[in-house]
Amino acid sequence: MIAAILSLGCIGLVAAFALGLAAKKFAVEVVPRELAALEVLPGANCGACGYPGCAGFAKAVIEGKAELNQCPPGGAEVVLKLSRILGVEATAAEPEIAVVICQGDNRKAQLKYQYLGLDDCTAAQRVAGGPKACPGGCLGLGSCQRACPFDAIEMTDDGLAVISREKCTGCRKCIAVCPRNVIRMTPLASSVHVLCNSHDKGALVRKYCQIGCIGCHICKKTVPDAYQVETFLATVVYGHDEEAGEAIAKCPTQCIRDFQDGYPEGSRLAPAGSEKTHAA
């Protein structure tokens, strides 16, 4: 009994001594400002800044290799805090969020075939260009949802990705995985968007989707400043939100949506009441 206590105690002492020495000898030097910077970052390690995780970005910022406003999830608040730590002036980048520019779920848009493969949009896209007849529409298999580090993407029951305007931080992870390029970065301040990604002619779009843009120019005729039409697809010229809203009621296929009025049909997300800044 006593022998056991003594021998274990001795081993403990020797190990403690060795650990103490090792801690001194192999100590990693940390720049205190790096720790402080890491403290104010969101800690999602999303990689949107282009550095390996928040620690990598903190290091780069302190070493002056990265701009202060390179952290989209952090938004203005992080820029402000980082500028205090570094003692420099910096302005936040215009906050942006991702929007799925498609409303053609499996009920509204036609399918070319029944897809039975892996639950992954990239895998589906490889099979005859994906099951959606529309070449640009959301495939609805949720690759973006799985890629989102902020749980900001909802998949509706009818297979449409909808991005929450409150939760999206603008990290662009979803854009990287989407094989159909149907997710776009848009200014957070703009809530009116043309939700269609098909550049096909109107007659063709009408064949495969009830809610696609047919390139009829009515929106542009109503508010010339706020819309542009290129190869049969209208887009909003951002920064003209007040006027852009006027065309919504005129659109024959109802593919223009003001997100302040609500999310696309089938989504359970509550409409954004007021424009929040993302760091809030």
* 120 part of the interface to other proteins, by CB under 8 A: yes
Nearer to other proteins, 129 or 271 (CB): 129
* 122 part of the interface to other proteins, by CB under 8 A: yes
- Judged by CB under 8 A, the stretch of 67-75, 92-100, 124-132, 187-195 that binds other proteins is 124-132
* 118 part of the interface to other proteins, by CB under 8 A: yes
* 175 part of the interface to other proteins, by CB under 8 A: no
* 235 part of the interface to other proteins, by CB under 8 A: no
In whole angstroms, the minimum distance from the beta carbon of 116 to other proteins comes to: 6
Q: Which of 12, 52, 129, 187 binds other proteins (CB under 8 A)?
A: 129
* 112 part of the interface to other proteins, by CB under 8 A: yes
Handedness of CA 40, 45, 49, 54 (dihedral sign): positive
Q: Which of 91, 113, 181, 187 binds other proteins (CB under 8 A)?
A: 113
In DSSP terms, 99 is beta-bridged to 184
Q: Which two tokens stand for residue 91?
A: 């302005």
* 167 part of the interface to other proteins, by CB under 8 A: no
* 210 part of the interface to other proteins, by CB under 8 A: no
Nearer to other proteins, 16 or 118 (CB): 118
- Asked if residue 182 lies in contact with residue 160, where contact means CB atoms within 8 angstroms, the answer is no
Residues forming contacts to other proteins in the complex (CB under 8 A) are: 112-113, 116-118, 120, 122-123, 126-129
